């Protein structure tokens, strides 16, 4: 058996079970690029500070580049007995270049090394998720552009409430996604500080330059407190929280569209490209992708809960428990990227069934609130208007008709203030036209917001 990099004081080697249980190479090899980048920055700083020679620096750099090449060509052997990505790369470097490699870990611990790698990895992941969020927003805005003027029932309590423009509804999701992207950007700003040089927990007496490595790795600044630097996982919790909120938004979008694709609603039809069938029922065409978007949100929430639970009650500073922080992050990122991608594809492959939607509009007295506003305009106090319209609705329910079917005499028998201009307020088309407040479903308002999104998302 090869001696461990930390093996000096040990007389016996670990059991196979312990080796298998404590390894992280099976998953943290995903950090190899960041690990090499961090090591190169560290070596350059050691050279500049006179802690290693220029020839040492040169062979470390070349050796690391060669290792990166081998990893990318599948020629690198990842070894479980070398525990994690850091020791695999360092040991391989020693195999490759010999003595100079032994100087690389000067003024560094795996505790600050792993966090440097992980912060760099999360930074890239945030950028990738941000791009996918934008792509979904673009798909939703384009879908809105294709559906100008379509009125749909708006719901509260899943009961018919008021008529809204389909565009308005689609843009609601675009707004939510914008905040999701914003949360990720906020998280990126806070995580972009460099732990490298914190060493095990206390820093070092060697003359390192933490500002140099921080700048070389595009961090804003070195982290100020070395104990905090190796203990902190709040950047992970924050990242996973942002992902969890995004996942919940996508889950709600998924639920909306699964519902709308049902026979009972029938408001949208996904194309075959985004549907799957049943192994027993020949007629079935199911919106599985959006069901799985809804379903996979559970994992993303679970990943956050794993991290929170992991960190709860840990004493300062580094504890090996913290090795368990990687898999939830990898899972969360992979899952959210897939959810965003498939949601965008779904948006590009749905058709809204305008006739079916249109036919459904008369049900549910969607114009009742507009009628109450009409009475307010006639100087009736709103509470009284509410009551009057409520009584008009009761008449409609007993006669199985709509508000616009009531004659002026019938309306006047409820309250004398009704006039023939009331019919300009009744029916969903008239009702939608009356909305004018900022952020409302009024067509001018929605058109202007759609225009803003087209500009902001650079849609051509
Ligand atoms: N693989 C470890 C992790 O991910 C690296 C740090 C290990 N440090 C230690 N002292 N055992 O947390």
- DSSP for 7-21, please give it: GGG-SSPPPHHHHHH
Closest C-alpha residue for ligand 1 atom 2: 323
Mean pLDDT of the chain: 96
Q: Where is 351: in which H helix or E strand?
A: strand 350-352
Mention every residue, 6+ apart, whose C-beta is less than 8 A from residue 83: 4, 19, 22, 23, 24, 25
For a substitution probing ligand 1, which of 195, 320, 324 has the most ligand atoms within 8 Å of its CB?
320
| CB-ligand 1 contact for 110 (6 Å cutoff) | yes
Q: Would you tell me how many other CB atoms lie within 10 Å of the CB of residue 327?
A: 16
pLDDT confidence bin for 281, thresholds 50/70/90: confident
Tell me, what's the ipTM?
Answer: 0.96
Residue pair 240/307 in contact (Cβ under 8 Å)? The answer is: yes
Task: Specify whether the CB–CB gap between 65 and 33 falls below 8 A.
Answer: no
Instruction: Give the β-pairing of 159-165 and 151-156.
Output: antiparallel
Q: Average pLDDT, stretch 51-73?
A: 98
CA distance 29 to 59: 23
Known catalytic membership, residue 61: no
Instruction: Give yes or no for a contact between 240 and 332, defined as CB atoms under 8 angstroms apart.
Output: yes
Cα gap 125→114, rounded to integer Å: 16
Give tens-digit pLDDT for 26-51: 999 999 999 999 999 999 999 999 99
Mean pLDDT of 263-268: 96
If you measure from the C-alpha of residue 110 to the centroid of ligand 1, how many angstroms do you get, rounded to a whole number? 6
- CA of 199 relative to ligand 1 center, distance in Å: 12
Helix spans in 198-266 (H): 210-216, 226-231, 234-260
Q: Which listed residue (65, 278, 436, 448) is catalytic?
A: 278
Per-residue pLDDT for 4 more than 90?
no
- Per the listing, tokens 């840990």 go with 314
pLDDT of residue 407: 96
Residue 323 CB–ligand 1 contact under 6 Å: yes
Q: How far is the CA of 100 from the centre of ligand 1 (A)?
A: 23
Reported as a single tens digit per residue, the pLDDT across 296-320 is 999 999 999 999 999 999 999 999 9
Q: What's the CA gap between 285 and 270, in Å, rounded?
A: 9
Annotated catalytic residue 278: yes
Structure tokens at 311: 């960190």
Distance, CA 113 to ligand 1 centroid (Å)? 9
User: Is 113 a pocket residue for ligand 1 (Cβ < 6 Å)?
Assistant: no
The answer, yes or no, to whether residue 292 has pLDDT greater than 90, is yes
CA of 212 to the centre of ligand 1 (A): 24
Of 193, 288, 295, 179, residue with least CA distance to 241: 179
Q: Enumerate the β-bridge partners of residue 69.
A: none
Count of residues in the chain:
460
Mutate to test the pocket of ligand 1, among 9, 24, 80, 110 (most ligand atoms within 8 A of CB): 110
């Amino acid at each position: 058996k090869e001696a461990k990099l930390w093996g000096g004081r040990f007389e016996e080697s670990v059991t196979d079970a312990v080796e298998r249980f404590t390894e992280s190479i099976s998953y943290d090899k995903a950090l190899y690029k960041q690990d090499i980048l961090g090591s190169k920055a560290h070596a350059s700083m050691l050279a500049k500070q006179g802690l290693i020679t220029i020839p040492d620096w040169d062979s470390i750099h070349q050796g690391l580049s060669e290792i990166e090449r081998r990893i990318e060509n599948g020629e690198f052997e990842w070894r479980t007995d070398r525990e994690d990505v850091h020791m695999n790369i360092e040991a391989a470097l020693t195999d490759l270049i010999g003595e100079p490699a032994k100087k690389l870990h000067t003024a560094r611990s795996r505790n600050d090394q792993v966090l440097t790698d992980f912060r760099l990895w999360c930074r890239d992941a945030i950028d990738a998720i941000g791009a996918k969020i934008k792509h979904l927003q673009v798909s939703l805005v384009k879908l809105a552009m294709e559906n100008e003027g379509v009125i749909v029932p708006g719901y509260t309590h899943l009961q018919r409430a008021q008529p809204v423009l389909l565009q308005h509804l689609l843009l609601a999701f675009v707004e939510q996604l914008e905040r999701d992207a914003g949360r990720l950007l906020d998280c990126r700003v806070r995580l972009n500080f460099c732990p490298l040089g914190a060493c095990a927990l206390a820093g070092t007496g060697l003359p390192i330059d933490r500002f140099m490595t921080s700048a070389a790795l595009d961090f804003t600044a070195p982290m100020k407190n070395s104990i905090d630097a190796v203990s902190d996982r709040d950047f992970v919790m924050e990242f996973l929280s942002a992902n969890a909120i995004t996942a919940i938004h996508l889950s709600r979008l998924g639920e909306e569209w699964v519902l709308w694709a049902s026979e009972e609603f029938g408001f949208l039809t996904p194309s075959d490209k985004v549907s799957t069938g049943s192994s027993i029922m020949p007629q079935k065409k199911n919106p599985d992708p959006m069901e799985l978007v809804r379903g996979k949100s559970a994992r993303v929430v679970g990943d956050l809960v794993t991290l929170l639970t992991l960190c709860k009650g840990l004493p300062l500073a580094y504890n090996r428990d913290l090795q368990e922080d990687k898999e939830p992050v990898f899972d969360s990122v992979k899952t959210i990227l897939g959810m965003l991608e498939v949601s965008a594809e779904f948006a590009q492959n749905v058709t809204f069934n305008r006739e079916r939607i249109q036919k459904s509009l008369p049900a549910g007295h969607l114009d009742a609130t507009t009628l109450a506003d009409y009475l307010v305009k006639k100087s009736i106090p709103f509470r009284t208007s509410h009551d009057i319209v409520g009584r008009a609705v009761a008449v409609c329910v007993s006669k199985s008709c709509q508000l616009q079917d009531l004659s002026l005499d019938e309306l006047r028998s409820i309250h004398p203030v009704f006039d023939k201009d009331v019919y300009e307020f009744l029916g969903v088309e008239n009702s939608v036209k009356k909305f004018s407040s900022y952020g409302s479903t009024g067509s001018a308002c929605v058109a202007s917001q759609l225009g803003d999104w087209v500009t902001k998302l650079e849609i051509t």
